[in-house]
Structure 1
C-alpha cells in the first residue's frame, strides 16, 4: 500500500481543506472496466466470490462466448468488405474502392483491438489494480500541496465524452436507413445471399448495427484508456514535483517549526502571480497549505531524519511512476503500431472520399465525423505521449526549487542517486519503431497527404483515359 503520507487528510495532525483535497478514491478505472466488460474485451471477469462454483463456471463460460461473438462479428464484416474491395477493384471506380477499403481497415482494426485486449485483459486488470492500490493522492505534507482529484475528474469526463463521441459517430451511420425510411443496409458490402430478403434483412441489419457499436466502443476504449493512464501518471509526476519542492518545509513541519517560520517559507515557495514560475506542473494546481489547520509541534523529530525519510518516499513514488510508464509502454506498443498504420490509411481514404466522392448530405456528415474522430484520436495519442516524455525528466528541476541543499552534505549519496535517476525519460513507442510524440503526428499527416495525392493523380489519369 502507498505511504499514508501521500494520502491527504489521513494524519490527524495534518488536515486540509476538504474542497481542495477530497478523500482518496479506491477505484480509478471503474467506468473503463465497465466498458471493457460490456463490449466483450474481458473473457475472464472478476466474479463475486460469494457465487457458488457452478454459477461462477457458467458466468466465465458466458463471458468467453460473448467475447467470441463480438470478435466474430468484427472479423466477418472485415472479410465481407475485403471481398467487396476485391470485387470492385477490376471496375476501376476509385470512390467505390476507397469506400470498401475504408470499412475494411476500420473492421480489421476493430477485430484486432478486440482480440488484443482479450489476450492482454489479465495483465491490464493487474495494471489497473496496482495503480489503484499504489497511486499517491496527495503530495507530502508541507507549506504547499497538490491533490490528484483534478486529474481524476478530467479522466472521468474525458472517458465519458470520448466514448459517447465515438458511439454517436458510428450510430449516425448505422441508423441512417431508419432515419431516411429506406429499406437498405447501413453498410454496403458483398453477401453470399440476398441480404435485403424479408427473412434475412432484420438479422443482417442487427448484425451490422452491433458491429458499428463495437467499432465505436473499441475505438473509444483504447483512446480513453491511454489518455486516462497518461493523465494519472502526469498527476503522479506533479505530486512528486510538489513533494520534492516541499522537502525542506516537510522536515521543518515535522520537527516543530513555528507557524511564523513556516509562513515565511510558504511565501518564498508559493510566489505571486507575476513572479511564479510557469508550467511547474502538468495537470494539477498548487494550493497554499492552511497552516492553522496543522499542528507542527506534535512530532519534534530531527530534521535530517525526516528529510531522509521523505526523500526515500519520493524515490519510491518515482519508481512507482517509472514502473507504471514502462507497463503502459508494454501494453500499448503493439497497439500503437497497428493504430498508427490504421490512422494513416484511414485519413488518406477519408480525405479522398471527402474530396472526390458524392455530395449527399448525410454521406458528407458521416465522412466528416469519421475524419474528425480519426484526427482527434491521432492527436490524443501523440500529444499525451509528448507530455509524458517532457515531464518525466523534470524531477531534477523540482528538486532544485526546494531547500534540499541545506542537508545535502549529510545525504550526499542519496541526493546524487536521485538526481541521476531523475533524468530517466519515459517514452511510449509504436512497436519499438518510433516514439508517439508530436513528430509522429506530423509524420502520419504527411504520409496520409502523400497517399491522398497519389490517389488524386490516379483519379485524374482515369478521367483523362475515359472517352
Structure 2
C-alpha cells in the first residue's frame, strides 16, 4: 500500500490542509438527471425482491417508452402542421412550425440514442470514477482534481436550469397572458380548446416542453462534464511529470532538507496558464517529513523509484487517452446530428425572429431559444478545441522536471512517451468534422447562408 498511496489512487491521503478527499461518484448529478428523464433506465430491480425483478425491469422500460412517445407525438404533430402550412400558410408560419418539428425530432432522437447507448455510457462513467487520480504524484507541490469536479458539477446544474427555464417560459406564456390558447401551435385531429380537453392537451405540451429542455441540456452537460474532468486529469498528469525528479528522490530516501531548497526554484519555473483548472499548491511539511521517514527505513534505488513514478504517469496518460477515445466513440454520431440540427434551427430561429410577428412574449421566447442554441454550439466546439490543444502539452510539462539529472535510467520510456504525447485527442461529428472553433464558424456561416436564401424567398413571395 505504501508504494501506491502517494500516487493519487483510491486512498484518501491528503497532502496538505488545502487538499481534498477523493469523490466516489463524479457524475452523480449527470446520471441523476438522465435517469429521471428516461435516457438511462432506472435500476428498479435493485430495490425489489427477486420475484419482482421482471416487473421492475418492465416498469423502467415502460417509463423510457413513455418519455419517447411524449416527444415523438409532438414531433409528428408539428411535421403534420408543417406539411399543411406548405399548402396554404405563409412562409413565416411554415418556418415557425418547421423549427418546432426539428427541435422535437432531435429531442426524440437524443432520448432514443442515449437509451440505446446507456450501457456503454454507464461503463465509461464507471471507468472514470474508478481510475481517475484525485491528486498528482507527491512532491514539493501538487494539484488536486477537485476543482475540475466542482466546475463540471456547476456547469451541469446551471446549464440545465437555463434550458428548463427557457422552455418552460414558452410553455407558461398563455397562463402569464391569461389567454385561452396553447403554448405550442400545432395541428390536432380534434378541437383542442374545448373544456377538459384543453387542460389535458396543455398538460401534455407542458410535459413535452420539460422533456425537450432537459433532453437538450443533458446531452451537452454530459459532454462538457466529461471533457472538464479529462482536462483536470491532464492537469494532474502535468504536475506529476513536473514532480518526477523530486518524487523519485523522496522515495530513494534523500534528505528532506536538501529537497526543500528547491522550493524557490519551483516557484520560479511556474508559468501562466500552466494548468487549465487546477491550482498548484505547496505540499505540507508534515507530509514530506512522514514520507521521508518511511522511505529512509526502506530506501529504493533512484532508478527504481524514477521508473515507478514514470510508469504511473504513463498509466495515467493511457487512461486519459482511452477515456477520450471512448468519449469520441459515444458522441461522434450525436455531434453529427446535433450539428445539422443546430444549423437548421439557428437559421430558422433568426428568420422567424426577423420576419415573424413582433409580440413581446414571442420575441423573448425566440431570443431565449436562440441564446440556448448558440450557447450549446459554443459548448461543444470550444470544449473540443480545449481538449485537443491540451492533449499535446504533456511533453511541455515533462521538460519542466529536472529529468536530465537521472534521464539515463528511463531513456527508452522517455522517447516512447514523448512520441505518444504528440497524438492529440480529437472529438468529431460522425468522423466528418472536428468539433473545434473552426466548426463553430462553419455552422454559423452555413446558418446565415440559409437565412439569406429564406429572406430572398420571402421577398419573392411578397412580390
TM tier, shorter chain? over 0.9
Query: Pairwise mapping of residues 41-440 of structure 1 onto structure 2 (< 5 A)?
Result: 41-43=39-41, 45-47=42-44, 49=46, 51-91=48-88, 93-271=90-268, 276-295=270-289, 296-299=292-295, 300-440=299-439
| Larger mean Cα displacement after TM superposition, 260-269 or 450-459 | 260-269
Shift of 1:378: 0.3
Distance in 1 (CA, whole Å) between partners of 2:326 and 2:4 is: 21
Deviation (angstroms), 1:196: 1.0
Q: How much does 1:49 deviate?
A: 4.0
CA shift, 1:297, in A, is 3.4
Mean Cα deviation higher: 390-399 or 257-266: 257-266
Cα deviation for residue 41 of structure 1 reads 1.0
Shift of 1:149: 0.5
4+ aligned runs moved over 6 Å, structure 1: none
8 Å contact 1:8–1:16 — kept in the other structure? no
1:8/1:21 contact within 8 Å kept:
no
Whether contact under 8 Å (1:254, 1:297) holds in the other structure is: no
Cα distance change, pair 406–109 in 1 and its aligned pair in 2 (3 A): same
- Is residue 258–residue 297 contact of structure 1 (8 Å, CA) maintained in 2? no
| Closer, same or farther: CA 184–3 of 1 in aligned 2, 3 Å | farther
Moved more, 74-83 or 224-233: 74-83
The 2-side partners of 1:294 and 1:31 are apart by 36
Residue-pair matches, total = 457
Structure 1 residues 376 and 3, CA gap change in structure 2 (3 angstroms): farther
Match of 2:451 in 1: 452
Give the TM-score, by structure 1 length.
0.95
Q: Helix, strand or coil: the match of 2:190?
A: coil
Indicate conservation of the 8 Å contact 2:392/2:424, yes or no: yes
Matches of 1:46 and 1:266, distance apart in 2: 51
1:324 Cα offset (Å) = 0.3
Q: After superposition, what is the alpha-carbon deviation per residue over 1:320-344, rounded to whole angstroms, capped at 9, x for unaligned?
A: 0001000000000000000000100
Shift of 1:292: 4.0
Q: CA-to-partner distance for each residue in 1:239-291, whole Å, 9 max, x for gaps?
A: 000000000010112222333322222221222xxx74222112111112223
Matched-pair contact (CA < 8 Å) for 2:95–2:352: yes
Q: How far is 1:15 from its partner?
A: 4.3
Aligned-partner Cα distance in 2 for 1:76–1:307: 62
Provide the C-alpha distance between the structure 2 equivalents of 1:366 and 1:452, rounded to a whole number of angstroms.
19
Contact 2:45 2:56 (C-alpha < 8 Å) held by counterparts: no
Q: Return the offset for 1:10.
A: 4.4
Compared CA separation, residues 93 and 174, structure 1 to 2 (3 A): same
Deviation by residue 1:298-320 (Cα, 9 ceiling, x = unmatched): 21222211110000011110110
8 A contact 2:134–2:144 mirrored in 1: yes
Deviation at 1:436, TM superposition (A): 0.1
Quickly say closer, same or farther: Cα 1:186–1:92, change in 2 above 3 A: closer
Alpha-carbon distance change, 174 to 9 in structure 1, aligned in 2, over 3 angstroms:
closer
1:7 counterpart SS class: coil
1:46-93 CA distance string (max 9 Å, x none): 346463113332221111001101101111111110111111112351
- TM-score, normalization: structure 2? 0.95
Contact in 2 for aligned 1:389/1:426 (Cα 8 Å): yes
Q: Contact 1:42–1:63 at 8 Å: present in 2 too?
A: no
Match of 2:461 in 1: 462
Distance apart, 1:424 and its partner CA: 1.4
Contact 2:44 2:60 in 1 (8 A): no
SS of the residue 2:262 aligns to: helix
Alignment partners' CA distance in 2, 1:6 and 1:236: 13
Unaligned runs of 5+ in 1: none
Aligned with 1:420: secondary structure? Answer: helix
Cα distance in structure 1, aligned partners of 2:437 and 2:200: 44
Task: Label 1:75 to 1:50 Cα distance change in 2 as closer, same or farther (>3 A).
Answer: closer
- Report if aligned partners of 2:9, 2:133 keep a CA contact under 8 Å in 1: no
Distance 1:461 1:50, change over 3 A: closer
**Which of residues 30, 33, 45 in structure 2 aligns to 1:32?**
30
RMSD value, Cα: 1.8
CA deviation profile, 1:436-455 (whole Å, cap 9, x unmatched): 00000000000011111111
User: How much has 1:3 moved relative to structure 2?
Assistant: 5.3
In 2, distance between residues paired with 1:194 and 1:158?
A: 42
Which runs of 5 or more residues in structure 2 are unaligned?
A: none
